[in-house]
């Protein structure tokens, strides 16, 4: 007999996505999954423990903590086959692009393009397209032929109008896991004033000014002519002036990374861009004058983060 099972909030994906002129944005999504198939002799389509493990492993392996972008934004390069290069928009006012040369594991190639105007697909279209891509991957990793099909819903955290939120990207060289990749988050931000209440005005200001930024430690910034990889990336960008760009290079356990992007889109920190350090950095930057004594509670995606000391 046919039947289906579902798991709501199977996982949360944190990544960066670059589609058209909207620019590369940090994203955090809830993922719901439903399996359609045949019951076994015991009446089960698939054991829930096995279903959750297979689906989460699939999403973590192929999409989580990666830069998601369409095939058209990749470029050929003469370096090691273990690396790929992509050129993508950051959505800034000058229309400058960014270029990333990184291990293959840092990217997820999407089979989606732009609309007729060339401006990129809508947010709704993006989420629907991602759901289809996720479903195909999960179906391929599910037991065959027991599972007939898989359907997925990808959704953002629902935020009320009074909530301040922004998207950002970052890289963590010294993280032991996948956070060392170029990736991002969409999250709320809260500011607590000295009396313990919320500073709603500062929250909105902070969110507006931080939206779309790449947070990075100062030690990641390099001289533009320090290596042939940077020269290659600059040629790929064609018209970007050296003085307008930030040149980022680091090497984690997953391999060396080179990134060139507009300085206007970079928030340079004195320390590694962990959420703990971001909370402290933003407090030091914004909590002065009329806001003295306030502390930033920085979120990293959905339902996790750090409160500045």
pLDDT at 190 over 60: yes
Question: What is the pLDDT of the chain when averaged over all its residues?
Answer: 89
- Is the pLDDT confidence value at 123 over 50? yes
DSSP state of 43: S
pLDDT given at position 249: 96
Q: Is 79's pLDDT higher than 60?
A: yes
CA distances 42 to 6, 38, 81, Å, are 18, 11, 47
Q: Is the pLDDT of residue 64 over 60?
A: yes
pLDDT 10s digits, 201-251: 999 999 999 999 999 999 999 988 778 888 888 888 876 678 889 999 999
Where are the chain's structural domains?
2-307
Q: What is the pLDDT of residue 115?
A: 46
**Residues 237, 289 contacting (CB under 8 angstroms):** no
Q: Which fold has domain 2-307?
A: Tetrahydropterin Synthase; Chain A (3.30.479)
CA distance 231 to 202: 41
pTM, two decimals, is 0.91
Beta strands 2-18 and 67-70, pairing class: parallel
Check residue 241 and give its pLDDT: 76
Confidence class for position 91, pLDDT limits 50, 70, 90:
low
Q: How confident is the model at residue 182 (pLDDT cuts 50, 70, 90)?
A: very high
- Say yes or no to pLDDT of 112 above 90: no
pLDDT at 58: 96
Percent of the chain with pLDDT over 90: 67
pLDDT at 117: 35
**What percentage of the chain has pLDDT greater than the value 70?**
91
- 8 A C-beta contact, residue 278 and residue 221: no
What is the token pair recorded at 164? Answer: 């301040």
36 burial (CB, 10 Å; 0-12 / 13-18 / 19+) is middle
* pLDDT at residue 92, rounded to an integer: 54
Average confidence (pLDDT) over 71-77: 80
Give the model's pLDDT for residue 76: 72
How many angstroms separate the CA atoms of 146 and 82, rounded? 35
């Amino acid at each position: 007999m046919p039947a289906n099972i579902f798991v709501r909030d199977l996982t949360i994906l944190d990544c960066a996505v670059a589609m058209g002129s909207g620019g590369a944005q940090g994203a955090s999504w809830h993922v719901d999954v439903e399996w359609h198939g045949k019951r076994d002799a015991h009446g089960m389509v698939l054991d829930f423990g096995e279903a959750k493990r297979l689906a989460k492993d699939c999403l973590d392996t192929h999409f989580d903590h990666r830069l998601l972008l369409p095939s058209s934004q990749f470029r050929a390069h003469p370096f090691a086959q273990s690396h790929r290069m992509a050129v993508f928009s950051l959505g800034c006012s000058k229309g400058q692009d960014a270029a990333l040369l990184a291990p293959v594991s840092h990217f997820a190639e999407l089979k989606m393009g732009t609309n007729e105007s060339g401006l990129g697909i809508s947010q709704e279209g993006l989420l629907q397209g991602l759901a289809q891509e996720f479903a195909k991957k999960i179906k391929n990793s599910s037991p065959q032929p027991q599972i007939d099909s898989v359907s997925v819903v990808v959704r953002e955290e629902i935020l009320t109008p009074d909530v301040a939120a922004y998207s950002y990207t970052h890289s963590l060289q010294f993280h032991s896991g996948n956070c060392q990749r170029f990736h991002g988050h969409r999250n709320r931000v809260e500011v607590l004033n000295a009396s313990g209440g919320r500073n709603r005005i500062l929250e909105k200001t902070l969110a507006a000014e931080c939206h779309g930024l790449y947070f990075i430690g100062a030690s990641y910034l390099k001289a533009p002519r320090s290596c042939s990889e940077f020269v290659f990336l600059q040629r790929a960008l064609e018209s970007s002036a050296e003085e307008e760009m930030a040149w980022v290079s680091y090497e984690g356990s997953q391999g060396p990374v080179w990134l060139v992007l507009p300085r206007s889109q970079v928030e340079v920190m004195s320390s590694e861009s962990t959420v703990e350090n971001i909370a402290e950095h933003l407090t030091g930057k914004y909590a002065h004058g009329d806001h003295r004594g306030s502390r930033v509670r920085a979120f990293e995606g959905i339902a996790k983060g750090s409160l500045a000391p």
